[in-house]
Structure 1
Amino acid sequence: MKLIPKKLMVLVVALAALFTFAAAAPVRADDWALTGTGVRVKTIAFIDIDVYEISHFMKQTPASRSKQAVIDADVPKKFVWKMLRDVDKEKIHDALTGAFAMNGYKDQAKIKAFVGAFQGELKEGARITIQYDPEKKTTTVAVGGSSASVAGVDFMKAVWSIWLGKIDQPNLGDQLIGRLK
């Protein structure tokens, strides 16, 4: 099929508009809207090390485009990590425990249950899912064959604050809500 230049130009403009819209709009899969993706970086002696890629999804996005609105949203939402390097269990435990403390969350029983799902070294390529169920008011972390569910809206807000609250890499939170309108 031979396209004349005018039709080709119309096709190119239409495709460009479609890709521009797609880049700005949240990506949806199975009713989950991707609100953003970033990479968790650890800086050691002036060297940045990529630790994991993290994406955030919601079934219902908040009316306001803010990290606090996403933290407070009592809707189905989840984080999905993909490990970019091997990290031992103790480092993950320390990082999560420290992040809860940085955000002022102190319920040690809930923190211990959550962190306990990380039972071994996380290998490069491993996937971790942290999902909130508003009907059950539980946050579930799945790490390989291990998982833990922790009850409470307070805990959900504490978990979401790890990446969207006080963090030593504030631009990561901005990236995780970057697709919200």
Structure 2
Amino acid sequence: MLPGDKQFIPLPTQLYVHFNLIMLCPRVFLKSFVLFFCLILVAHANDRFSGTQDKKNFPHTIVIEYNNEPLELSLTGLTIRRKFFFDIYSMAHYLQKQTNTVGLNISYDNIYKNILRNNSIKQISMVFLRNLSAEQIQKSLRSGIKLNSNENEYLKILPQVEKFMQAIYSDVKKNDEFTILWFPDGTVSSLFQGKQISLIKGKNFAKTLWAIWFGEYSVVDRKDLVEELLSSS
């Protein structure tokens, strides 16, 4: 071999054969890749709509105390917050009262608007499905608030937003629980692992916070969160 000549390093026979097959049959390779990708999507879709994990974590009704009286809240729906292919948290939404919508011509949009406008006590219950830093949680919630408000609306509720974010200072582990309650006077109570971490008053803040999941730019499939309203009385 002369100086400057490149040394030829033979490929392993099996790798060489696979390489040639890909070069000779690019369409076959592409179809196989697409099929594999589709199978992944189907697997995630099946997991999403099975609801097994959700139903295991969340009861159909819960009882809370308000003004020294026990009140029953009913489940409106369940979903999972996903980003790309990662499950972030499972969540359930509860209302103080449910309206029987069976057989009525009620649009999803009207249901979302009603949830954001009515004065019934509401609760969001989350169970984290992976470890997350406090910074990641804050960034996600802040992004959802900004998506569902214009600049002027966001500036008006900014003091409440900052107070809410400051209360989220702990990293979370898989299976940790985060709960948010919205009371009729506009007060929002948040709890981590059953312990209250913030109490913030402001109807506009409460509405915008809820819009993260029920607004036009919801971070989840909001239809899942009202499924019980449409399927049962």
- For normalisation by structure 2, the TM-score amounts to 0.60
Which deviates more from structure 2 when the two are superposed, residues 160-169 or residues 91-100? 160-169
More strand by share: 1
> Matched residues in 1 for 2:112 and 2:216: separation?
11
What amino acid does structure 2 have at the position aligned with 1:137?
G
**1:49 aligns to what?**
86
**1:138 aligns to what?**
187
Whether 1:108 aligns to 2:158 is: yes
Alignment of 1:1-181 (within 5 A): 27-30=60-63, 31-43=72-84, 48-61=85-98, 66-104=111-149, 105-106=153-154, 107-134=157-184, 136-144=185-193, 145=195, 147-167=197-217, 169-171=219-221, 173-181=222-230
Contact 1:117-1:146 within 8 A present in 2 as well: no
User: What is the CA deviation profile of residues 45-84 of structure 1, one whole-angstrom value per residue up to 9, with x for unaligned ones?
Assistant: xxx1001000000111357661111111211110000011
> Matched residues in 1 for 2:60 and 2:173: separation?
28
Structure 1 unaligned segments of length 5 or more: list them: 1-25
User: What is the CA deviation profile of residues 93-120 of structure 1, one whole-angstrom value per residue up to 9, with x for unaligned ones?
Assistant: 1111111111114121110111222111
1:168, distance to aligned residue in structure 2 (A): 5.7
Contact 1:117-1:142 within 8 A present in 2 as well: no
> Matched residues in 2 for 1:157 and 1:32: separation?
19
Contact 1:118-1:146 within 8 A present in 2 as well: no
- For normalisation by structure 1, the TM-score amounts to 0.76
Q: Number of residues paired by the alignment?
A: 150
1:170, distance to aligned residue in structure 2 (A): 4.7
> Matched residues in 2 for 1:57 and 1:146: separation?
18
Structure 2 unaligned segments of length 5 or more: list them: 1-58, 64-71
Contact 1:34-1:179 within 8 A present in 2 as well: yes
User: What is the CA deviation profile of residues 122-149 of structure 1, one whole-angstrom value per residue up to 9, with x for unaligned ones?
Assistant: 1101000000111x42011112345111
Contact 1:56-1:176 within 8 A present in 2 as well: yes
1:27, distance to aligned residue in structure 2 (A): 3.2
Which is higher, the Rg of structure 1 or of structure 2?
Answer: 2
- The root-mean-square deviation of aligned C-alpha atoms, in Å, is 2.0
> Matched residues in 2 for 1:37 and 1:178: separation?
8
